[in-house]
């Protein structure tokens, strides 16, 4: 577990009309503020990453499909510097993952359908300094390929 990362199981509330997928409320213990919320789609066999937000705390929830979220801690003052973390999240594991500022993240779909990722961040993107790296050519040694086991 990377220092400062929060994983919280979320509720799905079904009834005869459909389902409500709760994500975060301002009264939640892990709520750190609101800058903006956006939704990102990702097609099968695509990697979105690596991203690092210098100021924003990210709150991801996957409302359709499944992803493998990968985190890498490059923070110098962290207890988990240089550690990797994988989280499978989405339809089969509906949860909120909170990522502290300064932690690299990227994700890839799991399965054959596209995924929709919701991100509630604590600042507006224009007020955040985001860094990007190629997921296949970076100093982070991670193999994004599917591994049969």
d(CA 109, CA 68): 6
Around Cβ 137, how many Cβ atoms within 10 Å?
Answer: 7
C-alpha distance from residue 40 to each of 3, 33, 79 (Å):
25, 20, 31
Closest CA to 5 of 95, 94, 91, 110: 95
C-alpha closest to that of 51 among 146, 145, 132? 132
Confidence (pLDDT) at 11: 93
Residue 149 has pLDDT above 90, yes or no: no
Q: Determine the Cα–Cα distance for residues 74 and 140; give it in Å rounded to an integer.
A: 9
Q: How far is CA 133 from the centre of its chain?
A: 16
What pLDDT, on a 0 to 100 scale, did the predictor assign at position 139? 95
Q: What is the pLDDT of residues 15-68, one digit of tens each?
A: 999 999 999 999 999 999 999 999 999 999 999 999 999 999 999 999 999 999
Query: What are the chain's domains?
Result: 6-132 (2.60.120.10)
Share of the chain above pLDDT 90, in %: 93
Greater model confidence, 4 or 127? 4
Predicted confidence (pLDDT) at residue 128 exceeds the cutoff of 90:
no
Q: Confidence class of residue 146 from pLDDT cuts 50, 70 and 90?
A: confident
* Alpha carbon 22 to chain centroid, angstroms: 16
Q: Which two tokens stand for residue 67?
A: 């992803």
Q: Are 47 and 144 in contact (CB under 8 A)?
A: yes
Coil, strand or helix: which one is 125?
helix
The C-alpha atoms of residue 31 and residue 137 are separated, in whole angstroms, by 34
In the predicted model, is pLDDT for residue 87 greater than 80? yes
- How would residue 118 be classed by pLDDT, with cut points 50, 70 and 90? very high
């Amino acid at each position: 577990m990377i220092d400062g990362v929060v994983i919280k199981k979320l509720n799905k509330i079904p009834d005869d009309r459909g389902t409500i997928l709760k994500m975060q409320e301002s009264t939640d213990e892990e709520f750190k503020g609101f800058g903006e919320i956006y939704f990102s789609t990702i097609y099968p066999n695509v990697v979105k990453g690596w991203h690092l937000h210098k100021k924003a705390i990210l709150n991801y929830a996957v409302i359709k499909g499944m992803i493998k979220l990968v985190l890498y801690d490059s923070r110098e003052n962290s207890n988990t510097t240089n550690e990797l973390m994988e989280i499978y999240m989405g339809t089969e594991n509906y949860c909120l993952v909170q990522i502290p500022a300064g932690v690299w993240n990227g994700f890839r779909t799991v399965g054959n359908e596209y995924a929709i990722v919701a991100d509630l961040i604590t600042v507006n993107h224009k007020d955040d300094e985001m860094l990007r790296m190629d997921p296949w050519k970076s100093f982070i040694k991670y193999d994004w390929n599917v591994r049969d086991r």
